[in-house]
């Protein structure tokens, strides 16, 4: 049987929990669909394993294809050396260039078809800004590297729910003021395409949340639902996409409601993230839609307070690795 292509896993913030999660994921390799390689500093990973007493040998590789052959016995690492030694919980801007290079190399590997998808460990943007990082976050940086600036759409997913925030890292006031019909249409188009191509759903169903309580209640609680969201839903339906809304958000996420759609478009950050983190706090996966490659990430941050303790939970990274593998398998199949 042909071994599946490996996934490329980035370094993330070296002073955070990414290295520990990478090692823990390899220690649970029998629960993974695909092997993975780490684009990381092998000395750093060895040091973490030794300090925590984990039996996780490191195999330095020169090419992605070698990962499949060594993965059963050692964690394959494509070397990305750090500039300075790492102290857990204490990020150093000097290592920012290595963090960015790890992301860039994972993109190139996946673009070239040497890896099936890329999975990113959490970064610390404040430190990267000091190293010259000029993007709001991972998502925008990946879109820039791939030449599709503005096409990117964020999805958060777990086995029981998929949500897409139309506006993301802005204040609630800015989200309401900046919400547009075109942004909702774009998010719906990209989401429907991804559900077909990457999740194997032939006829995707989208639920579109309202912005205001009770989806505006016929204008009594705001005009945005009728004037901005409803036209977007109509446009999506005119394009053959099964979209329904605007729907009151307070009744959109219980189990019976979730059975009626494949993904929910949400109008602002917390409207999307509160339900998914309530339903599956440890197992949520961040997915970037709208890219020519597959990218997933654990849905949590660098957790500096846990770095070096070995207590960080690898559930979300495991879910991100397996979801990336499943998406890659779906994408490789022909679709009508």
Is residue 78 classed as helix, strand or coil in its secondary structure? strand
Kindly write down the DSSP assignment for every residue of 270-330, as one continuous string: HHHHHHHHHH-TTT-EEEEESSSS-EEEESS---TTTTTSS----HHHHHHHHHHHHHHHH
Per DSSP, 119 falls in state E
Of the candidates 94, 185, 110, the residue with the CA atom closest to the CA atom of residue 145: 110
Token output for 40: 């990381």
Question: Do the beta carbons of residue 168 and residue 158 sit within 8 Å?
Answer: no
286 membership: H or E segment, kind and range: strand 285-289
Residue 292 CB: number of other CB atoms within 10 A? Answer: 11
Helices and strands: H and E segment counts in the chain: 13, 12
Answer yes or no: is 95 a known binding residue.
Answer: no
Judge whether 300 is annotated as a binding position. no
138 is annotated as contributing to ligand binding: yes
d(C-alpha 117, C-alpha 115), whole Å: 6
User: Is 309 marked within a binding site?
Assistant: no
Annotated binding site, which residues?
138-139, 169, 214, 269, 277, 286, 295
Annotated binding site for substrate, which residues?
138-139, 277, 286, 295
Annotated binding site for a divalent metal cation, which residues?
169, 214, 269
């Amino acid at each position: 049987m042909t071994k599946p292509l490996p996934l490329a896993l980035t370094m993330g913030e070296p002073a955070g929990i990414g290295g520990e999660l990478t090692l823990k994921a390899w220690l649970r390799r029998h629960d993974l669909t695909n092997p993975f390689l780490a684009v990381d500093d092998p000395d750093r990973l060895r040091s973490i394993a030794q300090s925590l007493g984990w039996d996780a040998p490191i195999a330095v590789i020169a090419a992605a294809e070698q990962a499949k052959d060594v993965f059963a016995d050692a964690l394959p690492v494509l070397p990305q050396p750090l500039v300075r030694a790492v102290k857990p919980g204490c990020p150093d801007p000097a290592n920012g260039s290595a963090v960015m290079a790890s992301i860039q190399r994972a993109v190139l590997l996946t673009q070239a078809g040497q890896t099936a998808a890329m999975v990113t460990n959490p970064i610390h943007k404040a430190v990267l800004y000091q190293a010259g990082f000029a993007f709001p976050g991972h998502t925008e940086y990946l879109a820039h590297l791939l030449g599709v600036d503005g096409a990117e759409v964020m999805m958060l997913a777990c086995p029981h729910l998929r949500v897409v925030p139309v506006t993301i890292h802005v204040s609630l006031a800015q989200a309401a003021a900046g919400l547009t019909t075109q942004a909702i249409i774009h998010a719906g188009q990209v989401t429907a395409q991804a559900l077909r191509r990457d999740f194997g759903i032939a006829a995707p169903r989208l639920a579109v949340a309202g912005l205001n309580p009770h989806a505006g209640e016929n204008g009594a609680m705001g005009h945005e639902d009728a004037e901005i969201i409803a036209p977007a839903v109509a446009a999506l339906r005119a394009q053959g996409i099964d979209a329904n809304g605007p729907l009151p958000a307070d009744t959109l996420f219980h189990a019976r409601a979730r059975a009626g759609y494949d993904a929910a478009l949400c109008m602002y950050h917390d409207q999307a993230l509160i339900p998914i983190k309530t339903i599956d706090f440890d197992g949520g996966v961040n997915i970037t839609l709208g890219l020519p490659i597959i990218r997933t990430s654990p849905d949590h941050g660098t957790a500096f307070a846990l770095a070096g303790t070995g207590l960080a939970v690898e559930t979300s990274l495991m879910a991100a690795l397996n979801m990336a593998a499943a998406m890659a398998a779906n994408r490789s199949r022909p679709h009508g």
